[in-house]
Amino acid sequence: MSECIFCKIIKGEIPSCRIYEDDLVYAFLDIGPINFGHTLVIPKEHHESSATIPEATAGRMFRIGSRIGVALKRELDYEAFNLHLADGTAAGQVVMHAHLHVIPRGVEDGFHWNWRQLRYGDGEAAAVAEKIVKRLAATVAGK
Ligand code: AMP
Ligand code: ZN
Protein backbone atom coordinates (compact mmCIF):
# COMPACT_ATOMS: atom_id res chain seq x y z
CA MET A 1 0.00 0.00 0.00
CA SER A 2 2.05 2.90 -1.34
CA GLU A 3 -0.05 5.69 0.21
CA CYS A 4 -0.36 4.16 3.68
CA ILE A 5 1.52 6.21 6.30
CA PHE A 6 2.28 3.18 8.47
CA CYS A 7 3.69 1.26 5.45
CA LYS A 8 5.87 4.33 4.83
CA ILE A 9 7.02 4.27 8.46
CA ILE A 10 8.01 0.60 8.12
CA LYS A 11 9.99 1.42 4.96
CA GLY A 12 11.69 4.38 6.70
CA GLU A 13 10.13 6.92 4.31
CA ILE A 14 8.47 8.67 7.28
CA PRO A 15 10.48 9.03 10.51
CA SER A 16 9.40 7.24 13.69
CA CYS A 17 10.78 6.51 17.16
CA ARG A 18 11.33 2.76 16.81
CA ILE A 19 10.71 0.63 19.90
CA TYR A 20 10.91 -2.88 18.42
CA GLU A 21 11.17 -4.67 15.08
CA ASP A 22 11.33 -8.26 13.86
CA ASP A 23 10.33 -10.19 10.74
CA LEU A 24 6.59 -9.81 11.39
CA VAL A 25 5.94 -6.66 13.40
CA TYR A 26 7.15 -3.08 13.93
CA ALA A 27 6.54 -0.98 17.06
CA PHE A 28 7.01 2.79 17.44
CA LEU A 29 5.91 5.70 19.62
CA ASP A 30 2.49 7.19 18.89
CA ILE A 31 2.94 10.80 17.76
CA GLY A 32 -0.03 11.95 19.89
CA PRO A 33 0.24 9.88 23.07
CA ILE A 34 -2.48 9.47 25.71
CA ASN A 35 0.46 9.18 28.12
CA PHE A 36 4.18 9.43 27.26
CA GLY A 37 5.45 6.08 26.03
CA HIS A 38 2.15 5.21 24.25
CA THR A 39 3.30 2.78 21.56
CA LEU A 40 1.77 1.30 18.40
CA VAL A 41 2.48 -2.28 17.30
CA ILE A 42 1.76 -2.95 13.63
CA PRO A 43 2.03 -5.89 11.24
CA LYS A 44 4.74 -5.34 8.61
CA GLU A 45 2.31 -6.63 6.01
CA HIS A 46 -0.46 -4.15 5.19
CA HIS A 47 -3.84 -5.18 6.65
CA GLU A 48 -6.68 -2.74 7.12
CA SER A 49 -8.54 -5.01 9.53
CA SER A 50 -7.22 -7.10 12.41
CA ALA A 51 -9.42 -9.93 11.10
CA THR A 52 -7.18 -10.64 8.08
CA ILE A 53 -3.86 -10.65 9.95
CA PRO A 54 -2.33 -14.16 9.89
CA GLU A 55 -2.38 -15.97 13.24
CA ALA A 56 1.41 -15.91 13.77
CA THR A 57 1.59 -12.16 13.18
CA ALA A 58 -1.48 -11.41 15.32
CA GLY A 59 0.01 -13.52 18.11
CA ARG A 60 3.32 -11.68 17.81
CA MET A 61 1.55 -8.31 17.99
CA PHE A 62 -0.19 -9.29 21.22
CA ARG A 63 2.96 -10.82 22.75
CA ILE A 64 5.20 -7.87 21.89
CA GLY A 65 2.48 -5.40 22.89
CA SER A 66 2.25 -7.01 26.33
CA ARG A 67 6.03 -7.00 26.75
CA ILE A 68 6.19 -3.33 25.78
CA GLY A 69 3.48 -2.72 28.41
CA VAL A 70 5.65 -4.36 31.05
CA ALA A 71 8.69 -2.32 29.89
CA LEU A 72 6.62 0.88 30.19
CA LYS A 73 5.68 -0.05 33.77
CA ARG A 74 9.22 -0.94 34.83
CA GLU A 75 11.14 1.86 33.07
CA LEU A 76 8.68 4.75 33.08
CA ASP A 77 7.06 4.02 36.45
CA TYR A 78 3.54 3.37 35.24
CA GLU A 79 1.20 1.10 37.20
CA ALA A 80 -0.64 -0.59 34.35
CA PHE A 81 -1.34 -0.56 30.63
CA ASN A 82 -4.25 -0.89 28.18
CA LEU A 83 -4.06 -2.80 24.90
CA HIS A 84 -6.49 -1.20 22.47
CA LEU A 85 -7.35 -1.87 18.84
CA ALA A 86 -9.91 0.11 16.81
CA ASP A 87 -11.19 -1.97 13.87
CA GLY A 88 -13.21 0.23 11.52
CA THR A 89 -14.05 3.93 11.37
CA ALA A 90 -17.08 3.64 13.67
CA ALA A 91 -14.77 2.11 16.28
CA GLY A 92 -12.39 5.07 16.01
CA GLN A 93 -9.86 3.70 13.50
CA VAL A 94 -8.26 6.67 11.73
CA VAL A 95 -5.18 5.05 10.15
CA MET A 96 -6.31 2.17 7.94
CA HIS A 97 -3.33 -0.08 8.67
CA ALA A 98 -4.26 -2.28 11.65
CA HIS A 99 -2.43 -1.30 14.84
CA LEU A 100 -2.43 -2.30 18.49
CA HIS A 101 -2.16 0.60 20.95
CA VAL A 102 -0.10 -0.02 24.09
CA ILE A 103 -1.19 2.72 26.49
CA PRO A 104 0.69 3.08 29.78
CA ARG A 105 -1.59 3.97 32.68
CA GLY A 106 -1.44 5.39 36.18
CA VAL A 107 -4.29 5.58 38.70
CA GLU A 108 -4.32 9.38 38.62
CA ASP A 109 -3.35 9.98 34.99
CA GLY A 110 -6.58 11.89 34.27
CA PHE A 111 -7.68 9.59 31.45
CA HIS A 112 -10.93 7.62 31.61
CA TRP A 113 -12.65 5.24 29.19
CA ASN A 114 -16.25 6.29 28.65
CA TRP A 115 -17.42 2.72 29.26
CA ARG A 116 -21.19 2.24 29.56
CA GLN A 117 -22.99 -0.93 30.66
CA LEU A 118 -26.28 -1.69 28.91
CA ARG A 119 -28.59 -4.45 30.16
CA TYR A 120 -30.08 -7.35 28.13
CA GLY A 121 -33.81 -8.01 28.38
CA ASP A 122 -35.25 -11.50 28.89
CA GLY A 123 -33.83 -13.92 26.30
CA GLU A 124 -31.95 -11.19 24.42
CA ALA A 125 -28.45 -12.30 25.44
CA ALA A 126 -29.10 -15.89 24.31
CA ALA A 127 -30.47 -14.72 20.94
CA VAL A 128 -27.48 -12.45 20.36
CA ALA A 129 -25.03 -15.19 21.40
CA GLU A 130 -26.69 -17.69 19.04
CA LYS A 131 -26.15 -15.39 16.03
CA ILE A 132 -22.50 -14.77 16.91
CA VAL A 133 -21.76 -18.47 17.53
CA LYS A 134 -23.35 -19.42 14.19
CA ARG A 135 -21.36 -16.85 12.18
CA LEU A 136 -18.13 -17.60 14.06
CA ALA A 137 -18.40 -21.31 13.35
CA ALA A 138 -18.55 -20.53 9.61
CA THR A 139 -15.68 -18.01 9.56
CA VAL A 140 -13.32 -19.89 11.90
CA ALA A 141 -13.85 -23.11 9.94
CA GLY A 142 -12.90 -21.22 6.76
CA LYS A 143 -9.93 -19.61 8.63
P1 AMP B 1 -6.44 5.02 15.52
O2 AMP B 1 -7.39 6.12 15.91
O3 AMP B 1 -6.60 3.78 16.36
O4 AMP B 1 -6.47 4.75 14.03
O5 AMP B 1 -5.01 5.56 15.90
C6 AMP B 1 -4.12 6.12 14.99
C7 AMP B 1 -2.95 6.59 15.81
O8 AMP B 1 -1.85 6.81 14.95
C9 AMP B 1 -3.21 7.89 16.58
O10 AMP B 1 -3.06 7.66 17.97
C11 AMP B 1 -2.14 8.84 16.04
O12 AMP B 1 -1.60 9.67 17.02
C13 AMP B 1 -1.10 7.88 15.48
N14 AMP B 1 -0.30 8.40 14.38
C15 AMP B 1 -0.74 8.97 13.23
N16 AMP B 1 0.31 9.32 12.45
C17 AMP B 1 1.43 8.93 13.12
C18 AMP B 1 2.83 9.03 12.84
N19 AMP B 1 3.29 9.58 11.70
N20 AMP B 1 3.70 8.56 13.77
C21 AMP B 1 3.24 8.02 14.91
N22 AMP B 1 1.94 7.89 15.24
C23 AMP B 1 1.04 8.35 14.35
ZN1 ZN C 1 -0.07 0.03 5.41
Please give the pLDDT value at position 128.
98
- H helices within the chain, ranges in order? 5-11, 55-76, 124-142
Please report the pLDDT score of residue 140 as a whole number: 81
- State how far the Cα of 122 lies from the Cα of 97, in Å rounded to an integer: 39
- Answer yes or no: is pLDDT of 41 > 60: yes
Q: Which residues does 142 contact at the CB level (< 8 Å), separation at least 6?
A: none
Using the mean position of ligand 2's atoms as its centre, give its distance from the Cα of residue 112 in Å.
Answer: 29
| Residue of 102, 59, 110 whose CA lies nearest to 81 | 102
The alpha carbon dihedral of 9, 14, 17, 18 has a sign of positive
- pLDDT tens digits along 95-143: 999 999 999 999 999 999 999 999 999 999 999 999 999 999 988 866 5
With a cut of 90, say whether residue 2 has pLDDT above it.
no
**pLDDT at residue 19 above 70?**
yes
Q: Ligand 1: which of 40, 89, 102 to mutate, most ligand atoms within 8 Å of CB? A: 40
- So what's the pLDDT on residue 92? 97
For position 143, what pLDDT does the model report?
Answer: 53
53 class by beta-carbon count within 10 Å (0-12 exposed, 13-18 middle, 19+ buried): buried
State the sign of the Cα–Cα–Cα–Cα dihedral 123, 129, 132, 136.
negative
Fold of 5-113: HIT family, subunit A (3.30.428)
Enumerate the domain spans of the chain.
5-113
